Amino acid sequence: MELMPVRSTSLETLAVAAGRPARTPGAPLNAPMTMASALVPGGDSEYARHGNPTWTAFEEAVGALEGGHAVAFASGMAATVAVLEMLPVGAKVVAASGSYYGTTAELTRRARRGLLELQLVDVTDTDAVIAASEDAALLWLESPTNPELQVADIKTIAPAVTARGTALAVDNTLATPLRQRPLDLGADFVIHSASKLLSGHSDVVLGVVVTHEDRALRALTSRRSGLGAIPGALETFLALRGLRTLHVRLDRSEQTARELVSRLHQASGVVDVRYPGFGSMISFEIAAGPAAAQSMTESSEVIAYATSLGGVESTWERRRRHPGEPADVPESLIRLSVGLENVEDLWDDLDRALDSVRELQRSSG
Ligand SMILES: *Cc1c(COP(=O)(O)O)cnc(C)c1O
């Protein structure tokens, strides 16, 4: 499928227009969903495990937003594993200790099997990150981290580690390319769980890796064919449709998140409000403890009690209810993903949920 070039460098315009097919009279304006295993020989791909025009459209749009070439995978975890698969056996990997629990679990499993040597670091300690990476093949950063929302100083870390030959991968799921473009800052790989903000409607599981190096691009594409963890045509179609409104969704939920953060700071019973200063994610703790935090999240009406994040609907949960969540995440930490509902409705719901906790404490105390 021939694609229409986009002249603009504005991220808003790229979000809307990148990946659109060349204009052919009578053909769809946007990339249609291609349901095919076999394709007519002579094009980019003959068999749909190696390529599908619907993936290409999505990859073109994400690549344009991140400033590199994107390769889509069946999930964020499949994208993560594809990057790890490129490492030589026994390579040293330094990773953010507060990373997504699935990432840490996979790194730990690989370390236990002798596939890599793992060192975990606090991403907020820039000097420690740089020092630990000295003899590493790969530095894996996640910023902000999920769910503790720690921020890494990628601008300082990237040149220091890549100058010594360490590859830098950044999980950019929570920031999105609209708030942080790691490749511009010197990273080699950007990873997304496109299940989250990029697709934005809680109806897709999908991942993507973005790089500007041709060799890495070929290796990732060949790893995808070999591992077979390929995205679906429906998933890439839906994710691209969601991506078209990313900037509008993010601007609005960020505006709402800022307001909720300032009110949470004043709210009694709420401690340690964490917000990186941008984006749609907030984490905070409930002074009354984990049982109160749990019952509070289950009592809301506008905010859905659910896992995952980055959808049009606000969701929250106590992260430690998942047995796999690392023990350094506080037991009473609630992660709130701010969606697109009315800010006063969200606050009323949150405040009511907080009241129910205060009520509980009064009756038991
Ligand atoms: C959800 C998530 C992942 C994993 O992505 P899946 O699409 O669920 O496989 C990786 N990193 C971060 C930061 C996430 O939030």
- Cα gap 209→207, rounded to integer Å: 7
Give the residue-averaged pLDDT of 27-39: 96
The answer to whether 172 and 128 are in contact (CB under 8 A) is no
Helical spans, DSSP H, in 113-229: 126-132, 154-162, 182-185, 214-227
Task: Spell out a b/e string for 249-260, using b for 16 or more CB atoms within 10 Å of the CB, else e.
Answer: bbebbbebbbeb
From the CA of 310, give the closest atom in ligand 1: 15
Q: Which residues contact 5 (CB under 8 A, 6 or more apart)?
A: none
Q: Verify whether ligand 1 is closer than 6 Å to residue 319 (CB atom).
A: no
Q: pLDDT tens-digit profile of 299-358? A: 999 999 999 999 999 999 999 999 999 999 999 999 999 999 999 999 999 999 999 888
Check if 146 has its Cβ closer than 6 Å to any atom of ligand 1: yes
Alpha helices (H) along the chain: 11-17, 53-66, 76-84, 101-112, 126-132, 154-162, 182-185, 214-227, 233-243, 246-266, 290-298, 343-364
Q: Indicate if ligand 1 lies below 6 Å from the C-beta of 235.
A: no
> Which among 62, 97, 196, 307 is the best mutation to test ligand 1's pocket, defined by most ligand atoms within 8 Å of the CB?
196
Centre of ligand 1 from the C-alpha of residue 181, in Å: 18
Q: What does the pLDDT look like over 160-213, one tens digit per residue? A: 999 999 999 999 999 999 999 999 999 999 999 999 999 999 999 999 999 999
252 pLDDT tier (thresholds 50, 70, 90) = very high
Is the per-residue pLDDT at 360 higher than 90?
no
Q: Tell me the CATH class for 246-364.
A: alpha beta
User: Residue 1 has what pLDDT?
Assistant: 77
Atom 6 in ligand 1: residue holding the nearest Cα: 76
Nearest Cα residue to atom 7 of ligand 1: 76
Active-site annotation, residues:
49, 100, 171, 196
Domain with CATH 3.90.1150.10 in the chain: 246-364
> Closest ligand 1 atom to the C-alpha of 173?
13
Q: What's the rounded mean pLDDT across residues 122-147?
A: 98
Task: Please give the pLDDT value at position 68.
Answer: 98
Q: How confident is the model over 252-263, as a mean pLDDT?
A: 98
Residue from 215, 193, 213, 217 nearest 205 by CA: 193
Gap between the Cα atoms of 220 and 27, Å rounded: 31
Closest atom of ligand 1 to CA, residue 174: 13
Q: In the structure, what pLDDT confidence band is assigned to residue 258 with cuts at 50, 70 and 90?
A: very high
Task: Please choose from 142, 146, 235 the residue to mutate so as to test ligand 1's pocket, defined by most ligand atoms within 8 A of CB.
Answer: 146
Mean pLDDT of the chain: 96
Euclidean distance between CA atoms 283 and 278, whole angstroms: 13
Cα(310) to ligand 1 centroid in Å equals 11
- Helices 343-364 and 290-298 cross at an angle (nearest 10°) of 140
In ligand 1, the atom with minimum distance to the C-alpha of 146 is: 13
Please, which residues bridge with residue 209 across strands?
71, 191
Cα–Cα distance for residue pair 240/15, rounded to 1 Å: 9
**pLDDT score at 127:** 98
Q: How far is the CA of 77 from the centre of ligand 1 (A)?
A: 6
- pLDDT reading at 216 higher than 80: yes
Q: Is the pLDDT of residue 362 over 90?
A: no
CATH 3.40.640.10 in the chain is located at: 11-243
pLDDT in tens, 63-88: 999 999 999 999 999 999 999 999 99
- Cβ 76 under 6 angstroms from ligand 1: yes
Residue 365: pLDDT band (50, 70, 90) is: low
Residue 213 Cα distances to 178, 216, 218, angstroms: 21, 5, 9
Q: What residue's CA is closest to ligand 1, atom 5? A: 76
> Which SS3 state, helix, strand or coil, does residue 327 take?
coil
**What residues have CB less than 8 Å from 144, skipping those under 6 apart?**
150, 151, 174, 175, 276, 279, 281
**Rg of the Cα atoms in the chain:** 21
Query: Do residues 336 and 349 touch, judged by C-beta distance below 8 A?
Result: no
Q: Which atom of ligand 1 is nearest to the CA of 207?
A: 7
DSSP one-letter string for 4-35: -------HHHHHHHTTPBP--TTS-SSPPP--
59's tokens: 């990859």
Q: In the CATH scheme, what is the code of domain 11-243?
A: 3.40.640.10
